[in-house]
Structure 1
Amino acid sequence: MTSRTAIVTGAARGIGASVALRLAREGHAVAVLDLTEEMCAATVDAIRADGGRALAIGADVGDEAAVAAAFDVIEQQLGAPTILVNNAGIIRDNLLFKMATADWDAVMNVHLRGAFLVSRAAQAHMTRAGFGRIVNMSSSSALGNRGQANYAAAKAGIQGFTKTLAIELGRFGITVNSIGPGWIQTEMTAATAERIGVPFEEMLTQWAGQIPVGRVGQPEDIAHAVSFFVSEQAGFVSGQVLYVAGGPLD
């Protein structure tokens, strides 16, 4: 596999950190991007301890100027990026009648505006290289989930964004796909358990009982899927939404 420069947003922890580690182990130089460089330190240290090459980048993906500055640093220190994983995300869960406008806007800003800004910046490097891989993180919540009108709408939007970019960018050797994780054991899902007042271990047991394979997912399960989508061998797979959920989803 050709060694390339990859960017993983929201890579300080959870799914993003696991994806960053996986890509580094496959020989790619990885820009670990999150809100601050300090937040990225643990992921970068883990990659370097494993013999990989990584760079901590602090940037708000919803801030156009911050994204542009981040890309300048990445290109100078790691090289032109041709792999992008748009994983940055937040939750601001509530029922619709309780949801603050600010919480709606915050979720849209990170998930949709962030994916747009980072993808737009990345495609310039990819089109020049004649090769690119973009993986956008959606969610099973895109199909609808109580208390997540903002998050579900944003993740459904990610899927439409993915399919459109696949149409626009395919002629340049760029594939664009989306992954929809199901129940994955992360700090974000722990926050969901806290929101609804259920102990996290109890919730994990409940989830596992509803999943055909009999367990909840781990961040590494998502990293495996990303590894396939960004590979050179996946050049004829584009515009797809893959639910990694331990069973079929409608």
Structure 2
Amino acid sequence: MSLPRVLITGGAAGIGAATAERCREEGYDPIIIDREGSGIRADLSDPEATAEALREALARGPITRLVNNVGMVCPATAEAQTLAELDRVMALNLRCAMQCMQALLPGMKAAGFGRIVNMASRAALGKELRTAYAASKAALVGMTRVWALELGAHGITANAVGPGPIRTELFDRANPPGSPRTQQIIDSVPVKRVGTAGDVAHAVAYLLDERSGFVTGQTLYVCGGMTVGVVDL
């Protein structure tokens, strides 16, 4: 018997790679679409390239689990954020998620089962230098809630995961270990550490599980408590 498949966008590195590895441990067959790595190679910021990659992914049959993980950040102040940057961020972080959902949806409906997990961010609640990124992630949370309402009767759940500061290669380049700025971030987290990609993958695995069918339309923040309030330092 073939393993249940899960499509993961941006699964070649970081949180996506950790999610793919956790999915293998859970008994799934992860299908990865990314610009890099050994999976299906595609530039997901391009709608036509995305459509072709999705056709390739679905050539072996329906896929009933989806992790919309791919994303990008264009840090800038509100006055300096360009319209071109906004368009690029929205195309990858938001349009791609909708396109993937629509491609997999017929198979989910036919099976009477589906799990959609969208990778949002704590930044959706507000973060400096993140106008385009925060807007895209807040929009993704809104779409998740609508999908939950529309698709629940078909046995399909839609949820979001909102990571806080997560230690990845990208994080370490921007926040070198031992630097005052990095320590400031750690001090602001109630559990006094930054998260790992595995922390996020664990949350995703829960929402992908067949037994999580009564959880939908939710955003699970994996942030060490940062969304609760401010630590009194």
In the superposition, the TM-score normalised over structure 2's length comes to: 0.91
Deviation at 1:208, TM superposition (A): 1.7
C-alpha distance in 2 between matches for 1:191 and 1:164: 36
Q: Distance in 2 between matches of 1:122 and 1:60?
A: 18
Partner of 1:52: none
Alpha-carbon contact 2:189-2:226 (below 8 Å) kept: no
1:40 paired with 2:60, answer no
- One-letter amino acid of the counterpart of residue 4, structure 1: P
Gaps of 5+ in 2: 229-233
Code of the aligned partner of 2:103: A
CA contact (8 A) 2:6 2:66 kept: yes
1:206: how far off?
Answer: 2.2
8 Å Cα contact 2:89-2:136 kept in structure 1: yes
Q: How far apart are residue 126 of structure 1 and its match?
A: 0.8
Secondary structure at 1:81's aligned position in 2? coil
- Structure 1 residue 104, shift from structure 2 partner: 1.2
1:134 equivalent in alignment to 2:127: no
Q: Is 1:57–2:40 an aligned residue pair? A: yes
Query: How far 1:243 sits from its partner (Å)?
Result: 0.6
RMSD of the alignment, in Å? Answer: 1.6
Aligned partner (choices 50, 64, 67) of residue 82 of structure 1: 64
Distance in 2, Cα, partners of 1:122 & 1:234: 19
1:220 aligns with one of 198, 211, 224: 198
CA distance in structure 2 between the partners assigned to 1:142 and 1:94 by the alignment? 15
State the shift of 1:192 in Å.
4.1
Q: Which residue of 1 aligns with 2:231?
A: none
Alignment of 1:78-117 (within 5 A): 79-117=61-99
Q: Secondary structure at the match of 1:213?
A: coil
Q: Quote the offset at 1:170 in angstroms.
A: 0.7
Whole-Å separation in 1 of the counterparts to 2:133 and 2:108 = 29
Question: Cα gap change, 1:40/1:180 in structure 2, threshold over 3 Å: closer, same or farther?
Answer: same
The CA deviation string for residues 189-223 of structure 1, in whole angstroms up to 9 with x for no partner, is 24544xxxxx4542433222111111100000000
- Higher helix proportion, which one? 1
Q: Which runs of 4+ in 1 moved over 4 A?
A: none
Q: Secondary structure at the match of 2:165?
A: coil
- Does structure 1 residue 231 correspond to structure 2 residue 209? yes
From 142, 160, 164, the equivalent of 1:160 is 142
SS at match of 2:72: coil
Separation in 1, partners of 2:37, 2:191? 33
* Cα drift, residue 248 of structure 1: 4.9
Alpha-carbon distance in 2 for matches of 1:191, 1:137: 21
Identity %: 41
1:66-125 Cα distance to aligned partner (Å, 9 max, x none): 233222222234x32111000000111100211222111111110011111111111121
> Within the alignment, does 1:69 sit opposite 2:47 as a pair?
no
Q: Find 1:207's aligned residue among 185, 192, 195.
A: 185
Per-residue CA deviation, residues 155-214 of structure 1 (Å, 9 max, x unaligned), is 100100100000111111100000000000113324544xxxxx4542433222111111
- Is the counterpart of residue 189 in structure 1 residue 171 in structure 2? yes
**Aligned-partner residue type, residue 63 of structure 1:** D
CA contact (8 A) 1:180 1:243 kept: yes
Q: Distance in 1 between matches of 2:220 and 2:67?
A: 14
Flag the 1:155–1:192 CA change in 2: closer, same or farther, 3 A: farther
